[in-house]
Amino acid sequence: MYFWHLSVVKTCLGIWLGLSLVTSAWSADITVFGSDSTLPKMFQQERQSRGILVDILKYADHALRDDRNVTVKLYPWARAYRYASAGAGGIVGLSWTQERTELFDFSEPLYVDDVVIVVLKGYEFNFRELADLQGLRVGMGRGDSYGDDFEKARSTGLFATEEDNSVANRLTKLVMGRIDCALFYAGKAGFEELLRHHQIPQAMRDVLVVLPVPLRSDPNFLAFPKSMQMKRWLAEFNQVIKRGYASGEIPKIIAQNLGVPPQAHSAATPAESPAPTQSHKPAPAAPATAWGCGATSPAPVRCAAAAGKSPR
């Protein structure tokens, strides 16, 4: 009789522990990784996570009926992607590629922005398609991807890419003639906000030109490793995002981050996005010398020439 009671107690204890673990796992916060330097979409400021995508996630977290909280953790993009790929959490700001669908479950697009091409004044070129980048050196963020067509063109050597971990790095390379053009997110308004945030000297701003045709309109997704089994959660999340656009709340978030009136921001809504979706897819001002120029240098182009480098 004693052993029978002991067996029952052990069985009940095992069931209780199992249920506790399941409940604990279900109620744990949902971690989402992202880039710490992709202003104005997501960035760190005064140890706080800020930006368009961060604010959209906060909006959705507040609206979701799920008891779990969404916790955003920002790192250099390559590290954030590595953490998400390893199953440590989701990732926001991810571009859709066929290869990534084997690893991640994607949300509907949270935000669609133009990836702009920036060059030095006097070195503009007529961009209409990827073939127009032939033979050029293109600066971009480390670990960034701009869709399957871009990746294919890069892999075949149509153009060369120079990756970096910061906006300052990319602009320095452009000014010094080490790259021919640089890619930035969030359209022209986003690029101008980025220059203001980093307090880029006016002399440099005057010689930077955003080409009129963007590289592409890039849908930004929230994605989770398939191992996390987040499809049901993403289904509810998608509905919150759709309602947020329909009510005007998310467009207001985007406009506030870009510093423009709500009707003026250029981001397309998810419904307007041409990209495949889950249901359809097959600090203080830097001194002038930090930019490779003396404080009295008349223009970055001349600084590049003084360094013996050609801007193109």
The answer to whether 96 touches 221, Cβ cutoff 8 Å, is: yes
pLDDT at residue 115, as a whole number: 95
Pairing of strands 216-225, 104-106: antiparallel
For residues 141 and 165, the answer to whether their CB atoms sit within 8 Å is: yes
What's the pTM?
0.69
Place of tokens 């949270």: 110
Share of residues in the chain with pLDDT > 90 (%): 58
Tokens describing residue 106 = 């994607």
| pLDDT digit string, tens, across residues 37-60 | 888 899 988 889 999 999 999 999
- Does residue 280 carry a pLDDT above 50? no
- C-alpha–C-alpha distance, residues 300 and 291, integer Å: 8
161: pLDDT strictly greater than 90: yes
- Judged against a pLDDT cut of 90, whether residue 173 lies above it is answered with yes
Model confidence over 64-91: pLDDT tens digits?
988 899 999 999 999 999 999 999 999 9
DSSP secondary structure, 144-164, as one string: ----HHHHHHHHTTSSEEEEE
How large is the average pLDDT for residues 12-17?
A: 42
Which helix (H) or strand (E) is 93 found in, with range? Answer: strand 90-94
What is the enclosing helix (H) or strand (E) of 112?
strand 111-120
- Considering just the CA atoms, what is the radius of gyration of the chain in Å? 23
Which residues, in sequence order, are CB contacts of 298 under 8 Å at separation 6+? 203
The domains found in the chain, sorted by start residue, are 29-112+218-272 (3.40.190.10), 113-216+288-306 (3.40.190.10)
More confident residue, 267 or 215: 215
Predicted confidence band of residue 270 (pLDDT cuts 50, 70, 90): low
Report pLDDT digits (tens) over 282-303.
333 333 333 333 332 323 333 3
- For residue 27, name the pLDDT band (cuts at 50, 70, 90): very low
Query: What is the b/e burial string over 31-62, where b = at least 16 CB atoms within 10 angstroms of the residue's CB?
Result: bbbbbbbbbbbbbbeeeebbbbbbbbbebbbe
